[in-house]
Amino acid sequence: MQYEGVLSKMETELGAPIQYYLTFENSFLNVNQALNKHLEISFQGYQCLNCSKKKKIFRQGFCYDCFYSSPAVGDWIMRPELSTAHLGIADRDLDYEARVQLTPHVVYLALSSDVKVGVTRKTQVPTRWIDQGACQAVSIVEVPNRYLAGITEVALKNHFVDKTNWRKMLQNDVLDLDMLTEKARVFEFLPEEVKQYFNADLDEHFVMNYPVLHYPKKVTGLNLDKTPNFAGKLVGIKGQYLIFEDGTVFNVRSFEGYVVGMNII
Ligand SMILES: [Zn+2]
């Protein structure tokens, strides 16, 4: 079976195991069905996810010009504490920013290798956790805007990491600890104005189960810029990564906006 189109991050569905989908213009692929089969990936070109022009991708699926002009990639995306829509102050486009920032946000702890703190819009639960390859996650606070989530994350960064260790995550090298105990100990670290939003529900505990046949001992990232054609046996999907039998891993998210051909044999 052959597929062709612009890569964007895999859509997911929480299930046992999680289901992954690659969506192209005229077709879609349930990636789980490619497990245990040979998958060929070939680089064919670029197409910016924002302007659709065939320009080289700069970051996050966007060409250089779109990356520095689109409100969808302002600094407040990566650093929520820089959000200003609650003050009526624009970064690039106040209408867009108000729509995204002034909605319920969740600050969470996720276990992917270490315990990591992060921020997401409430509508992105549990998608965000699946995208990070977390095997467990708990929500800490639910706040009405992105700024409050951001200052909470900043306070918790003193006690937890804020980046996923992708190698350990893909090798399933995960700490053995109780997430509800971790959740209970964060309350005292919360900023005063956020304490009222603490999520005290101890039953809300997400466990994610990934379609991985076996985990690699050593992982090497596939870079389509250096290796435009790759073929291997798919043995797992975790986070936004495809895991191959020889330890090659392909981060779909890093190649958003790349036009590829995919062939399953
Ligand atoms: Zn563009």
pLDDT tens-place string over residues 150-183 = 999 999 999 999 888 999 999 999 999 999 999 9
Task: Report which of residues 27 and 134 the model is more confident about.
Answer: 134
Alpha helix (H) residue ranges in 23-178: 64-67, 75-78, 94-101, 127-131, 146-156, 166-171
- 79 and 137 both lie in a single domain: yes
| H/E segment holding residue 117 | strand 115-121
- Mean of the per-residue pLDDT values of the chain: 95
Residue 171 has, within 13 A of its CA and on its CB side, a CA count of: 14
- 106 and 229 both lie in a single domain: no
- 63 and 109 both lie in a single domain: no
Q: What is the span of the domain harbouring residue 20? A: 2-67+212-264
**Ligand 1 centre distance from Cα of residue 66 (Å):** 4
- 198 and 138 both lie in a single domain: yes
**Ligand 1 centre distance from Cα of residue 253 (Å):** 17
Q: Report the number of distinct structural domains present in the chain.
A: 2
- 111 and 174 both lie in a single domain: yes
- 47 and 137 both lie in a single domain: no
- 256 and 238 both lie in a single domain: yes
- pTM comes to 0.93
- 92 and 200 both lie in a single domain: yes
- 82 and 186 both lie in a single domain: yes
Q: Which residues surround ligand 1, an ion (CB under 5 A)?
A: 48, 50-51, 63, 66
- 60 and 96 both lie in a single domain: no
Cα distance between residue 65 and residue 57, in whole Å: 10
Cα distance between residue 204 and residue 260, in whole Å: 39
What proportion of the chain, given as a percentage, has pLDDT over 90? 92
